[in-house]
């Protein structure tokens, strides 16, 4: 199996496991949660202006209160977890958490307590630094587990992860935990992309790119100079690029050329 397919499969399986765990946790607390809902008064969501963000750590993007009245700052967006004994806001991504003032917010309304920094602050805090991206990367996106990736071709969502058959590499999260992962896809700005487009697609196309310090054209030129059959050269070309362009189709083309040579032997 192609290594990209193996990575995609592993990420799908991890995403499925996370969903199974989430459903199990939710079902385990359903009965008690239902009792708590009708036993307590639930008011309107907290007015974000009531939370004094000047008191928040620089890394904090969310504030929430547990059912016992204790409040916390969160780096990543938390979710409410309830069972027979307690109800707490929990960050599954293991970001920074710190005790916070309660801002005189009523503990009886803990379910409605979650609030974020205002949208303008949140947006300005998130910025993809394309100077850190590989030259071939055209997209950045974050999975639902907070793991971010560079992608060569535009990815799509599958079981909580962004997937693409093109090249991909783990990337910095750039503070993206403060945004919805499903809206995290960011394309390389055209002004930056234009620096690479002409030279790369003509002189150094990604699918024939450098491997171990050698480019495909350099190998083919040497083999041609040594008198190798042009069909063997074509087969090597398709084998060289199959991971980045064409996939199985490139492998079939390579086999077709090899079989043409074998047919004459």
Among 247, 258, 260, 245, smallest CA distance to 2 is for 247
Any idea what the Cα angle at residue 150 is, between residues 167 and 179, rounded to 5°?
A: 145
Among 69, 52, 70, 68, smallest CA distance to 60 is for 52
Q: Note the pLDDT tens digit of each residue in 209-255.
A: 545 556 777 788 888 888 888 888 888 888 887 777 778 888 888 89
Q: How many CB atoms lie within 10 A of CB 166?
A: 20
The full set of domain ranges for the chain reads 40-123, 126-191, 204-262
Provide the pLDDT for residue 4: 62
**Are the CB atoms for 87 and 36 separated by under 8 Å?**
yes
User: What pLDDT band is residue 199 in, cutting at 50, 70 and 90?
Assistant: very low
138 pLDDT above the threshold of 70: yes
DSSP string, 171-211: E--TTGGGS-GGG--EEPPHHHHHHHHHHHHHTS-GGG--B
What is the rounded CA–CA span in Å between residue 185 and residue 174? 13
Q: Is 175 left (phi over 0), alpha (psi -120 to 50) or beta?
A: left
DSSP string, 214-264: B-HHHHHHHHHHTT--HHHHHHHHHHHHTTTTTTHHHHHHHHHHHHHHHTT
Structure-token pair, residue 136: 């071939």
Q: Note the pLDDT tens digit of each residue in 79-123.
A: 888 777 778 888 877 788 899 998 877 877 888 888 887 644 444
What is the rounded CA–CA span in Å between residue 88 and residue 139? 36
User: What pLDDT band is residue 24 in, cutting at 50, 70 and 90?
Assistant: low
pTM, two decimals, is 0.33
Provide the pLDDT for residue 151: 92
Cβ contacts of 187 within 8 Å, gap of 6 or more: 138, 139, 154
Mean pLDDT of all residues belonging to the chain: 74
Among 33, 28, 23, 21, smallest CA distance to 87 is for 33
Strands 97-100 and 71-74: antiparallel
């Amino acid at each position: 199996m192609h290594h990209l397919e193996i990575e995609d499969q592993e990420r799908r399986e991890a995403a499925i496991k996370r969903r199974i765990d989430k459903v199990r946790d939710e079902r385990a607390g359903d009965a008690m949660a239902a009792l708590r809902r009708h036993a307590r008064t639930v008011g309107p969501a907290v007015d974000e202006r009531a939370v004094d963000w000047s008191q928040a750590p620089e890394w904090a993007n969310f504030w929430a209160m547990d059912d016992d009245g204790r409040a916390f700052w969160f780096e990543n967006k938390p979710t409410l977890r309830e069972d027979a004994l307690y109800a707490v806001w929990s960050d599954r991504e293991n970001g920074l958490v710190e005790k916070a003032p309660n801002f005189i917010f009523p503990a009886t309304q803990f379910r409605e307590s979650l609030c974020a920094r205002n949208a303008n602050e949140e947006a300005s805090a998130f910025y993809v630094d394309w100077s850190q991206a590989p030259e071939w990367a055209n997209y950045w996106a974050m999975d639902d587990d907070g793991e971010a990736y560079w992608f060569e071709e535009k990815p799509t969502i599958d079981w909580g992860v962004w997937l693409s058959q093109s090249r991909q590499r783990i990337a910095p999260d750039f503070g993206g935990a403060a945004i919805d992962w499903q809206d995290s896809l960011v394309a390389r700005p055209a002004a930056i992309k234009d620096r690479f487009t002409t030279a790369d697609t003509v002189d150094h196309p990604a699918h024939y790119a450098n491997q171990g310090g050698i480019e495909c054209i350099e190998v083919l030129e040497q083999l041609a100079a040594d008198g190798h059959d042009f069909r063997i050269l074509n087969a090597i070309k398709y084998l060289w690029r199959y991971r980045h362009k064409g996939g199985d189709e490139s492998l079939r083309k390579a086999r077709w050329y090899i079989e043409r040579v074998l047919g004459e032997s």
